[in-house]
Amino acid sequence: MALSFSLKKRFRDFSFDIDLSIGEGITVLFGPSGAGKSLLLNMVSGIVSPDEGVVTIDHIDVFRSSEGIDMPIRCRRVGHLFQDYALFPHMTVYQNIAYGISRLQSSELRRRVGELMELMRLSGLRDRYPDEISGGQRQRTALARTLATEPRVLLLDEPFSALDYQVREKLRADLATIHERYPITMLFVTHDLEEAFIMGENIAVVNDGGLEQFGPRDEVFYRPGTRNVARFIGTRNIFSGRVSRVEEDGTVVLECDEMGEVRTAYGGRVRPARGAPATFAIRPEEIMVIRPDRPIDRRVRDNVLDGSVVSATARGTSHTLFFQTADGRAKLKIEMPNSAYRKVLPFMDGTISVSLKKESIWILPDARGE
């Protein structure tokens, strides 16, 4: 099963224009609030009409403005999960799930609904009303209700964002189970970075009504295509500079105002020209803090900067540090596990060194000439 679309819609102060083609599996639609993620889902399912464009599900056009095709919502066979569940409040869990199943013998209907209730761990809640069950149970009911109609595509609009952490983790596992059992195309909207990373085989980054980048998860996370993507995925350390030289082993040396010379393992296909502008980034968890009581390892000898820690914040399982170079020109955000943080804690007050591994520095493609 596959879903592809090309959608345009203009509002007074916002315009939407995205082309995308996704295959089976879970694709995460990631971006800040107001980027147009929900609008995209609503246009695919037909709740909102695009100004122009195409929506194709399994090679069947459900919308094609140039030929006047606009299939009614009920015929599109698109499953859509909403953040607020949209369960029918006057129906029980059983009635909600059975609602979309049409033309089935009553024994067959009971069997199907029973099967779905078991799959979604709802068996004991058959006769409860939506306001008598928990948030997680509601979303599972909504999921079972959608699956009962055997949709070709499943759209999930921040389905877990109203739920607490543990429930969310369980539901993610449920979704993975469902995906194994019903291999359908899923488009999962979230603005939560962690959730995007956990759920997505592929990630589409959306911003301001446009597509910033689309690709496999690791590519988007470790090789962001634009400054915006780098920002959204939490790469806070983004700098601009120029290519100063290329060494024999392929190391590209950049020159930037904040940090001076920075050595990078470029790895690109096209050799960058000397003097070309380059934007580069390093993820906060890739920066290493060097312990003064240990000799510098060969591996971390690239790009050593001296400075001090301006602030440190505990973030549950990790710590976030803000580091400033001795001359005060460069500021870096560093993230480290608590165990590592405890080891460097005694040296926090004095001068401290960090190292930017050249393999961890990513040069954004706008400067690569690719």
Partner 1 sequence: MDLFPLFLTLKVSLVSAVFTVTIGLSLAWLAARCDFPGKWILDVIIMQPLVIPPTVLGYYLLVVLGKYGPVGRFLNDVFGITLVFTWKGAVVAAVVASLPLFVKPARAALEGVDRNLENAARLLGKTEWQIFRTITIPLAWRGIVAGAVMAFARATGEFGATLMVAGNIPGLTQTLPIAIYDAVQMGDTTLANTMVAIITMFSMSVLYFVNWLTRGKY
Residues that bind partner 1 (CB under 8 A): 45-47, 72-80, 82, 84, 86-90, 99-100, 102, 129, 131, 145-146, 149
Q: How far apart are CA 203 and CA 188, in angstroms?
A: 9
Neighbours of 227 (CB within 10 A): 16
Identify whether the C-beta of residue 356 lies closer than 8 Å to the C-beta of residue 301: no
Closest CB to partner 1 among residues 80, 357: 80
Three-point CA angle 344, 319, 189, nearest 5°: 150
Closest CB to partner 1 among residues 87, 199: 87
Closest CB to partner 1 among residues 137, 279: 137
Q: How far is the CB of 160 from partner 1 (least distance, A)?
A: 18
Closest CB to partner 1 among residues 154, 256: 154
Identify whether the C-beta of residue 252 lies closer than 8 Å to the C-beta of residue 264: yes
Burial class (CB in 10 A: 0-12, 13-18, 19+), 18: buried
Structure-token pair, residue 145: 């209700």
Q: How far is the CB of 299 from partner 1 (least distance, A)?
A: 54
Q: How far apart are CA 264 and CA 262, in angstroms?
A: 6
Three-point CA angle 176, 178, 182, nearest 5°: 125
- What would the DSSP string read from start to end of 179-212? HHHS--EEEEEE--HHHHHHH-SEEEEEETTEEE
Q: How far is the CB of 145 from partner 1 (least distance, A)?
A: 7
Q: How far is the CB of 81 from partner 1 (least distance, A)?
A: 9
Question: Cα 7 to the chain's mean position, in Å?
Answer: 21
Closest CB to partner 1 among residues 76, 357: 76
Structure-token pair, residue 321: 């540090």
Q: How far is the CB of 116 from partner 1 (least distance, A)?
A: 13
Q: How far is the CB of 47 from partner 1 (least distance, A)?
A: 5
280 membership: H or E segment, kind and range: strand 277-282
Closest CB to partner 1 among residues 148, 262: 148
Query: Considering only CA atoms, which of 72, 118, 124, 117 is closest in space to residue 96?
Result: 117
Q: How far is the CB of 276 from partner 1 (least distance, A)?
A: 50
Q: How far apart are CA 14 and CA 12, in angstroms?
A: 6
Closest CB to partner 1 among residues 35, 153: 153
Burial class (CB in 10 A: 0-12, 13-18, 19+), 312: middle
Q: How far is the CB of 143 from partner 1 (least distance, A)?
A: 12
Closest CB to partner 1 among residues 112, 331: 112
Query: Considering only CA atoms, which of 279, 288, 283 is closest in space to residue 237?
Result: 283
Q: How far is the CB of 56 from partner 1 (least distance, A)?
A: 18
Q: How far is the CB of 141 from partner 1 (least distance, A)?
A: 12
Closest CB to partner 1 among residues 97, 287: 97
Identify whether the C-beta of residue 31 lies closer than 8 Å to the C-beta of residue 232: yes
Closest CB to partner 1 among residues 96, 279: 96
- What would the DSSP string read from start to end of 289-337? EEPTTSPPPGGG-SSEEEEEEEEEEE-SSEEEEEEEETTS--EEEEEEE
